[in-house]
């Protein structure tokens, strides 16, 4: 069983949602933290709260992970702080929602930049040191969206399919190095993921970030290479999608997303949302 006590964990996207839950849970398990996201104020507030309740070191690095130079900048700061990273939780992520051709292009690029480019950048830069030290762990937060094409979340699901494939391949490459790599696949989770759009999640079908974070960290501690930290039906959906032709799966997913109104999404005015 992996012990988080006195390890140093980097959590990206720690300013809210799942990342905040990962940070709080890791601190309660005795891990020191490096919190990364754009919202410096939110990170400092969280860091202050964690320091008050847990005897762990918490550092904050404000970074825009959609900037291709940011993984190197984050790692430079970690080195300046004199830290060795034992666990990387690649959680930061975002995605465009709505019909691909009817929505702005830029958020799709940002989604690839944050969910894919920054993720592999941080894995490359921090993973090398872990292998050199013969120990360490990486948790890449993908999604149940990784397992099938998702009309109205087309590029987002594709980024998560990348994370799934990349993580499984890397886990095998480093299998005998002392470094463990795990993908986590939450289903719908009650966070601000759809904030600033008219899209919403059905509260009855969502898990809480606190539960998802706890199950992810338990699974990693147990040595799993894959984690489905949400409700059991998420996993059943993933298996079902493997049984049918991909065109059928895309049709069904498109139907479900239309029922959820994702074919008719617009952005909320930032001033009022």
Ligand X SMILES: NC(=O)c1ccc[n+]([C@@H]2O[C@H](COP(=O)([O-])OP(=O)(O)OC[C@H]3O[C@@H](n4cnc5c(N)ncnc54)[C@H](OP(=O)(O)O)[C@@H]3O)[C@@H](O)[C@H]2O)c1
Contact residues for ligand X (CB under 6 A)?
A: 13-19, 37-39, 42, 64-66, 91-94, 114, 141, 143, 186, 188-189, 191-193
Minimum Å gap between C-beta 81 and ligand X is 18
N-to-C CA span, the chain: 43
d(CA 160, CA 230): 16
Minimum Å gap between C-beta 204 and ligand X is 14
- Comparison of 8 and 96: residue with beta carbon closer to ligand X: 96
3-state secondary structure (DSSP) of residue 134: coil
- Comparison of 175 and 196: residue with beta carbon closer to ligand X: 196
- Comparison of 48 and 178: residue with beta carbon closer to ligand X: 48
Q: Is 101 exposed, middle or buried (0-12, 13-18, 19+ CB in 10 A)?
A: exposed
- Comparison of 196 and 255: residue with beta carbon closer to ligand X: 196
How many Cα atoms within 13 Å fall on the side-chain side of residue 150?
26
3-state secondary structure (DSSP) of residue 60: strand
d(CA 260, CA 254): 10
Minimum Å gap between C-beta 177 and ligand X is 25
Helix (H), strand (E) at residue 35: strand 32-37
Give yes or no: 4 in active site: no
Minimum Å gap between C-beta 88 and ligand X is 13
Q: Of 4, 22, 152, 156, which residue is the catalytic one?
A: 156
In this structure, which long-range contacts are made by residues 164-167, counting pairs with CB atoms below 8 Å and at least 24 apart in sequence? Answer: 166/119, 166/120, 166/140, 167/138, 167/140, 167/142
Catalytic residue numbers read 156
């Amino acid at each position: 069983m992996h012990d988080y006590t006195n390890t140093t964990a980097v959590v990206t996207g720690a300013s809210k949602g799942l990342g905040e839950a990962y940070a709080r849970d890791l601190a309660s398990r005795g891990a020191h933290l490096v919190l990364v996201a754009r919202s410096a104020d939110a990170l400092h507030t969280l860091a202050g709260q964690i320091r008050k309740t847990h005897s762990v070191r918490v550092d904050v690095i404000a970074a825009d992970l959609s900037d291709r130079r940011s993984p190197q900048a984050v790692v430079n700061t970690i080195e300046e702080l004199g830290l060795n990273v034992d666990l990387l939780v690649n959680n930061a992520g975002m995605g465009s929602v709505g019909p691909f051709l009817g929505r702005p292009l830029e958020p799709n690029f940002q989604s690839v930049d944050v969910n894919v480019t920054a993720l592999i950048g941080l894995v490359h830069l921090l993973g090398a040191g872990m292998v050199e030290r013969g120990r360490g762990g990486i948790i890449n937060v993908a999604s149940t969206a990784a397992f099938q094409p998702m009309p109205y979340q087309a590029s987002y699901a594709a980024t998560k399919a990348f994370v799934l494939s990349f993580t499984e391949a890397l886990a095998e490459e480093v299998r005998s190095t002392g470094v463990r790599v795990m993908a986590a696949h939450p289903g719908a989770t009650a966070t601000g993921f759809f904030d600033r759009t008219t899209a919403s999640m059905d509260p009855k079908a969502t898990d809480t970030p606190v539960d998802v974070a706890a199950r992810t960290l338990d699974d990693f501690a147990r040595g799993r290479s894959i984690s489905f930290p949400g409700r059991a039906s998420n996993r059943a959906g993933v298996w079902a999608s493997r049984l049918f032709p991909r065109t059928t799966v895309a049709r069904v997913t498109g139907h479900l997303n239309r029922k959820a109104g994702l074919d008719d999404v617009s952005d909320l005015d930032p001033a009022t949302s």
